[in-house]
Amino acid sequence: MAETETPLLASDNPSNTSRRMPWPWLLLLALILIGGAYFRYIGLSWDASYHLHPDERFLTMVETAISPVKNLGEYFNTAVSSLNPNNRGYGFYVYGTLPLFIVRYAAEWVNRTGYNQVNLVGRCLSALVDLMTVLLVFLAAIRLYK
């Protein structure tokens, strides 16, 4: 390769330093994620199905009342949509609907749509998003501070 040509691959450039993360950092990340998962997933049924938290109880009632739509047109027809809490007797639903829909469809997928089951699906998904947030913060810190 001539001196004026640019290398095709980063590995062709001897001045390029390796961007691999040192193994102790990877081990630390793995331990943090494993420990976080352990503490986040242990005791998911902390209320023994008494539904003690009022907000979660309301979300559970709405999640069991709504049902999946057959097509996208039915979803956008809010006057009759089975995903619209207002059509299911919950006109005072003030929370966002995306988490509600995600939990409901995940519960459908694992066949856990009952009143004492759907809240546990929501708790599992919440824990998963928490762990992904820790991973995202770690990756952002590595990117920003190398």
- Residues 97 and 83: beta-carbon distance below 8 Å: yes
The amino acid occupying position 48 is A
Buried b (16+ CB within 10 A) or exposed e, 18-28: eeeeeeeeeee
Q: What is the pLDDT along the chain (146 residues), one digit of tens a residue?
A: 555 555 554 445 555 555 688 899 899 999 999 999 999 999 999 999 999 999 999 999 999 999 999 999 999 999 999 999 999 999 999 999 999 999 999 999 999 999 999 999 999 999 999 999 999 999 999 899 87
Evaluate whether residue 16 is within a structural domain: no
Evaluate whether residue 11 is within a structural domain: no
Evaluate whether residue 15 is within a structural domain: no
Evaluate whether residue 89 is within a structural domain: yes
Which among 21, 22, 19, 23 has a CA at the least distance from the CA of 10?
19
Flag whether the pTM goes above 0.95.
no
Evaluate whether residue 112 is within a structural domain: yes
Evaluate whether residue 97 is within a structural domain: yes
Domains in the chain, number: 1
- Residues 127 and 39: beta-carbon distance below 8 Å: no
Cα–Cα distance between 32 and 107 in angstroms, integer? 28
Measured at the CA of 113, the angle between CA 111 and CA 115, to 5 degrees, comes to: 145
Evaluate whether residue 8 is within a structural domain: no
> How many of the other CB atoms lie within 10 Å of CB of 113?
19
| Domain with 118 in it | 22-145
